[in-house]
Structure 1
Amino acid sequence: MSPRRDQSEIAGSPLLSRRAVLAAGAALPVLAAGTPAAAATAVTVEPSNVQQTILGFGGMNHTVWISDLTAAQRETAFGNGTGQLGFTVLRIPVHEDRNNWSREVATARRASELGAKVIASPWNPPASMTESFSGGKRLRYNAYGAYAQHLNDFTAFMANNGVPLYGISVQNEPDYAQQWTAWTASEIVRFLRENAGTISTRVIAPESFQYRKAMSDPILNDATALANVDIIGAHLYGTPFADLPYPLFQQKGGGKELWMTEVYYPNSTDSADLWPQALDVGEHIHRALVDGRFQTYVWWYIRRSYGPMREDGQISKRGACMAHFAKWVRPGFSRITATANPQPNVYVSAFKSGARIVIVAVNKNTSAADLAFTIRDTGSATAPTWLTSASANLARSTDVTISNGAFTAQLPARSIRTVVVN
């Protein structure tokens, strides 16, 4: 994305109209084990039916367009204690001006120290490598090698400053390049074929702004280009839910990772504390992981009025919805099959690591939802739960008692909760 995201960006940042393309509290008794089973809708969780590996949740820091996170805000973003988001991915820009590289170090280094993966995306190559054409600005064809070295130089700079990059992108949103560098799908394939093999960290491409398969299909269909990319990255601005599945990636992307590297949802105009609208974030994450089979979910600016962290450094309602996943579905967890949509406007996803199972349930209805859970091949246990609703943020809730893998729960209206089964 770009600095056009909202109307409150810093002075001097260009503003675009891309939105035109988009249409801790006390224990609460929210999960009632005594709901009559006959009135409840069945939800089956299948730990043996393993889907994709989850690699993390996080957001963007861009210190040229907005101010850096403070030391306290870094802890809130990447720590996993009470009142913290539990993020495990940080995205930073590859500035075309090397004099700005050092600005990204402090937050990236602390995020890395706290265990986060750090990735980087360029908006523009150095000006000396670009040229104008009828579609705007592009990387000169005879500068591809120099550009690959530019990406390597940034990778080395960050490593020398205590930040080992997990991956680096070829280009942020090459198909929405009104005020940054444009690439066609064939140009990205050419760069991957001829130059990406020299890049010293994982390569991310194409980062289409709307998960347009016309940008990524050519990579998957070219064996040489595919061999030189490690992560298929995508943004989900205005992407219809029906376009989230990617059969070609499932067919040809073996050994590659699938990352959602940027979004804000549903908009950048509402306060992130507006409820129940913030609950849309919970559904969006569910759909990205379940329908899209993404391995990461990465927000745009971490700290913003519409982001997971408010400008005062506190977690917002949107942030709480993200944290219901991020705090308990840690890197290396696997998504497992669960009844994804047991009732209209109710969404359930499940994950496991070893013997631990995490269930995240979203109820967008104006009335409670009664669900009868069965976790296959699971015994008896007492499981803690956490709730976010109109009146609670990541609040510890009533434990549920699981008997031979079964429990029944009444989920409050307009809420999201996480159940952790050990």
Structure 2
Amino acid sequence: MTLRRDESTAGGPESPSRRSVLAAMGALPLLAAAPPAAGASGTPAAAAAPAADVIVDPSAARQTIRGFGGMNHTVWISDLTPAQRDTAFGNGEGQLGFSVLRIPVHENRADWSREVATAKRAADHGATVIASPWNPPAHMTETFVRGNQTNARRLRHDMYGAYAQHLNDFSGFMADNGVNLYAISVQNEPDYAQDWTWWTPNEMIRFLRENAGSIGTKVIAPESFQYVKSFSDPILNDPQALANLDILGAHLYGTPPQNFPYPLFRERGAGKELWMTEVYHPNSSDSADLWPQALDVGEHIHRALVDAEFQAYVWWYIRRGYGPMREDGRISKRGACMAHFSKFVRPGYVRIDTAAIPQPNVYTSAYTGGDSKVIIVAVNKGASQVSQTFTLSNTTASSVSSWLTDAGRTLAPQGGITMSNRSFTGTLPARSVTTFVTG
């Protein structure tokens, strides 16, 4: 059947819809969920303890955060306008504060220049730019039979070296145009490639072993569409392949939270980064302003950072009816939920291990930016207003500011909060997300 990434027909061809395909696939087999590693703060909601103080100790450091952002794909939809670029990557009032831009490595070199303007402006704002290919150039591919698909596409096995050079050429082209890529992927979703290029784990391992070392920027793999561990486990278990991997990238389409933790990465991934490089959540069919559904984005980011310990969270299209920026260029409610993280938890900040679910329906995470600055993001998905006390230790913080998004307010600054003996109590309105900034 023909599937699309979203249901809109504007802007040209798009790739398949995870919302549709996951509903159709039903019980897709996934790696059995592993229990969180000792000391991990993420716990299932059913096991949440009664309301208690959230202890925030900056010395309890977890992962370094690289940033938050989204995708720009100018062949499938129109480019961001100059004003929209600033809304996405600026960090002033009415801006998202995104610090990561993902762009495609087009198979046709004639299309490369289409991605420059937005990438250059994002870089000017200090954003990290990464790139992912959907297909190699046509002359490097061949068709084969894969299950019921008779025209499945794969990279020819005698073209691995040429493909590595293709990725290098794209990186060089972007550098010549003022954009230094932070990293480049081997393949977007090699395990969900009905409409692009398939890779097996063994093919990915061979490329990483024999060819990825020649790539002049950081390398991302495998970007499984559903964080399928059976695709990334073999890489982690192969020292030669792992040596040429810099970022283990994954997508979270339909991945249940119990499958977010990755004990094998924690065991084998020393010196590597762990990024969530594409998702939309919870679907692509509803308006991004639907509330309280948009609050699901806040919980999803919380779980991606706390349960999975990802270092980056990257949305699909930046501007879309279901995305962080509406088609009119204004920030959506889903975008506001992202901005509660992206505007305040900046690249280089470190997540602090603290209570993840201090009371039912409340999700809290904390981050430090050094000195006395601590960021706390609290999502209240409950139907009632609650109070939550936060106690800071090993910090000289003495003041608190906060911003709120709920049904009627969007990233609205709130009145001052009194901190006494490095402790304060925040009011969390029903179905809301609040960011507290201490200093």
TM-score range, shorter chain: over 0.9
Letter in 2 for 1:185: P
| 1:276 pairs with 2:287 | no
2:268 to 249, 252, 259: 252
Other-structure match for 2:16 = 16
Give, in angstroms, the shift of residue 20 of structure 1.
3.1
Other-structure match for 1:399 = 416
Are 2:351 and 2:368, in contact at CA under 8 Å, matched by a contact in 1? yes
| 1:409 pairs with 2:426 | yes
Are 2:397 and 2:438, in contact at CA under 8 Å, matched by a contact in 1? no
Other-structure match for 2:337 = 321
Letter in 2 for 1:78: F
Other structure's SS at 2:93 match: coil
Structure 1 portions without partners, runs of 5+: 24-38
How much identity, in percent, do the aligned residues show?
68
User: Which structure 2 residues correspond to residues 160-179 of structure 1 after superposition, within 5 A?
Assistant: 160-179=176-195
Name the CA distance, whole Å, in 1 between partners of 2:420 and 2:15.
56
Name the CA distance, whole Å, in 2 between partners of 1:315 and 1:11.
20
Other-structure match for 1:138 = 154
Give, in angstroms, the shift of residue 15 of structure 1.
5.4
Other structure's SS at 1:373 match: strand
Name the CA distance, whole Å, in 1 between partners of 2:22 and 2:130.
26
Other-structure match for 1:5 = 5
Give, in angstroms, the shift of residue 375 of structure 1.
1.1
Letter in 2 for 1:137: R
Over 4 Å off, 4+ runs: none
Give, in angstroms, the shift of residue 40 of structure 1.
5.8
Are 1:53 and 1:333, in contact at CA under 8 Å, matched by a contact in 2? yes
1:65 to 76, 86, 105: 76
Please give the per-residue CA displacement for 1:307-333, whole angstroms capped at 9, x wherever unaligned: 000000000000000000000100000
Letter in 2 for 1:183: W
Are 2:51 and 2:358, in contact at CA under 8 Å, matched by a contact in 1? no
Are 1:59 and 1:300, in contact at CA under 8 Å, matched by a contact in 2? yes
Give, in angstroms, the shift of residue 379 of structure 1.
4.5
Other-structure match for 1:36 = none
Other structure's SS at 1:343 match: coil
Give, in angstroms, the shift of residue 85 of structure 1.
0.2
Other-structure match for 1:159 = 175
Name the CA distance, whole Å, in 2 between partners of 1:181 and 1:174.
6
Give, in angstroms, the shift of residue 377 of structure 1.
2.4
2:404 to 363, 375, 387: 387
Give, in angstroms, the shift of residue 9 of structure 1.
3.9
Other-structure match for 1:29 = none
Name the CA distance, whole Å, in 1 between partners of 2:68 and 2:258.
22
Other-structure match for 1:127 = 138
Distance 1:153 1:22, change over 3 A: same
Other structure's SS at 2:63 match: strand
Higher strand proportion: 1
User: Which structure 2 residues correspond to residues 136-215 of structure 1 after superposition, within 5 A?
Assistant: 136-215=152-231
Other-structure match for 1:28 = none
Other-structure match for 1:365 = 382
Name the CA distance, whole Å, in 1 between partners of 2:339 and 2:420.
28
Letter in 1 for 2:107: E
Name the CA distance, whole Å, in 2 between partners of 1:117 and 1:380.
30
Name the CA distance, whole Å, in 1 between partners of 2:195 and 2:181.
26
Name the CA distance, whole Å, in 2 between partners of 1:3 and 1:297.
25
Distance 1:215 1:403, change over 3 A: same
Distance 1:297 1:380, change over 3 A: closer
Name the CA distance, whole Å, in 2 between partners of 1:358 and 1:380.
11
Name the CA distance, whole Å, in 2 between partners of 1:75 and 1:12.
24
Q: Comparing 397-406 with 283-292, which one deviates more in the overlay?
A: 397-406
Please give the per-residue CA displacement for 1:228-254, whole angstroms capped at 9, x wherever unaligned: 010000000000100000000000100
TM-score, normalised to structure 1's length?
0.94
Distance 1:213 1:412, change over 3 A: same
Other structure's SS at 1:401 match: coil
Name the CA distance, whole Å, in 2 between partners of 1:379 and 1:100.
52
Structure 2 portions without partners, runs of 5+: 24-49, 147-151
Name the CA distance, whole Å, in 2 between partners of 1:15 and 1:165.
24
Name the CA distance, whole Å, in 1 between partners of 2:75 and 2:360.
43
Name the CA distance, whole Å, in 2 between partners of 1:56 and 1:124.
26
Other-structure match for 1:27 = none
Other-structure match for 2:52 = 41
Other-structure match for 1:351 = 367
2:111 to 81, 100, 104: 100
Please give the per-residue CA displacement for 1:351-410, whole angstroms capped at 9, x wherever unaligned: 001121000000000001221211122346221100000010000012211111111222
TM-score, normalised to structure 2's length?
0.90
| 1:111 pairs with 2:122 | yes
RMSD value, Cα: 1.4
Name the CA distance, whole Å, in 2 between partners of 1:240 and 1:371.
27
Distance 1:376 1:21, change over 3 A: farther
Letter in 2 for 1:13: P
Other-structure match for 1:342 = 358
Name the CA distance, whole Å, in 2 between partners of 1:277 and 1:18.
18
Name the CA distance, whole Å, in 2 between partners of 1:246 and 1:219.
13
Aligned length: 406
Letter in 2 for 1:308: P
